Amino acid sequence: MEQMTRTVYCSALQSGLYLNLPIPIKPNSTLNERFSIQAGVLPTIDNPPRARYYSLGNGGHTFTVGSDMIPKPEPIQHRTTDAAAFKPIPFVLRLVANDLTPVQRANYGLRRFETWQGQQYVAYYLKRIDFTGVTVDMQYKTQNADGTWTSTEFVPDSSNLNPTPPDLSPTGINLVTGAYVSADARVDLSLSASDCQELINVANVMFGDPRAAIISEVLLCSGVDQNVTVPGPGNTTFNFLEVIASQVMTFVEAFALANFLNNGLDILLDVGATEPLLNLNGTTTVTTSP
């Protein structure tokens, strides 16, 4: 099961980028503040945030028991003003002495130390998205008689450059076709088998139970990469490509048990700037009062 909630911070970012205006990043709206990581550090005007990352949570679900006594997961929908997951969980939670390698660390952001059961761990709450091969596509989608949808590439023709006014009724009911157009990109947020094993370890450390390795919140996030100095083992430090001014663009409430998915977890997300755009069919049904 899956449902999506676009945030007001997404709308603000899209509007700013579309109009080439400064992006409003207000207090209490970033994941950096939520995790006390480079909180309050803002990007420069010439390097605005982009949707390049994602994060996870396990608070986007509940269970209901019907008359058949079978527990069923139900999603809990986020508000458009929510700025973080209900229950954030990191991708990685390792003992400081067993931190990720520099090559592995390059895939993550929002790094911080946490203490669990009296031991110090290093956590990573953001993962970078690989946009290799991702393109923005325009699709024309029509509904079939059986309720299914057929999607084809939308290709403008001369009629789009020479539009004619539709025949709309000012008093009747104007019908739309069972079709719409959309512009979006197919983004792969899949987790590998090793990613799922890291999540099982997270559940063991945080909850003491691998069965708690549940993913029910996927957060598409924006931000800006910035080199910072972070603590390592002992009194050491090193340079790390951190993410600043990270905000949630879209919440996806989906249910998966990471500990049951040893072969990995496929998460594919259609990301677009607009909701589906309905098409008028050019005809009307006029209603009259008796």
Q: Per residue in 124-139, pLDDT tens?
A: 999 999 999 999 999 8
| Phi, psi of 33, deg, nearest 5 | -70, -40
- What is the token pair recorded at 256? 């998966």
For residue 226, the enclosing domain spans 2-133+187-259
> What pLDDT shows up at residue 289?
37
Identity of the residue numbered 7: T
- Residues 137, 154: Cα–Cα separation, whole Å: 8
Q: b/e map of 131-169 (b: 16 or more CB within 10 Å)?
A: eeeeeeeebebeeeeeeeeeeeeeeeeeeeeeeeeeeee
In a domain, 141, yes or no: no
Tell me, yes or no, whether 151 lies in a domain: no
147 inside domain? no
> How far apart, in whole angstroms, are the C-alpha atoms of residue 284 and residue 280?
9
Q: Does residue 36 belong to any structural domain of this protein?
A: yes
> How is residue 213 written in tokens?
């390795």
How far is C-alpha 225 from the chain's CA centre? 18
Query: Which token pair is 132?
Result: 């290799």
What pLDDT is recorded for position 284? 40
- The residue ranges of the chain whose pLDDT is under 50 are 1, 259, 274, 278, 280-290
The pLDDT of residue 280 is 47
Q: Would you say residue 170 lies in a domain?
A: no
8 Å CB contact between 88 and 34:
yes
Q: Is the pTM of this model over 0.95?
A: no
* Residue range 80-129, pLDDT digits in tens: 999 999 999 999 999 999 999 999 999 999 999 999 999 999 999 999 99
Output the pLDDT for position 288.
38
**Is 222 a member of any domain?**
yes
> Phi, psi at residue 254, to the nearest 5°?
-140, 150
Q: Is residue 236 part of a domain?
A: yes
Torsion on CA atoms 51, 57, 59, 60, rounded to nearest 10:
40
Residue 163 lies in a domain: no
If one counts the domains in the chain, the total is 1
The residue among 132, 120, 117 whose CA lies nearest residue 96 is 120
CB count in 10 Å sphere of residue 43: 17
Model pLDDT, residue 161: 96
The secondary structure of residue 67, as a DSSP letter, is: T
| Cross-strand bridge partners of residue 141 | 151, 180
Alpha helices in the chain (DSSP H): 8-19, 31-35, 102-105, 158-161, 193-207
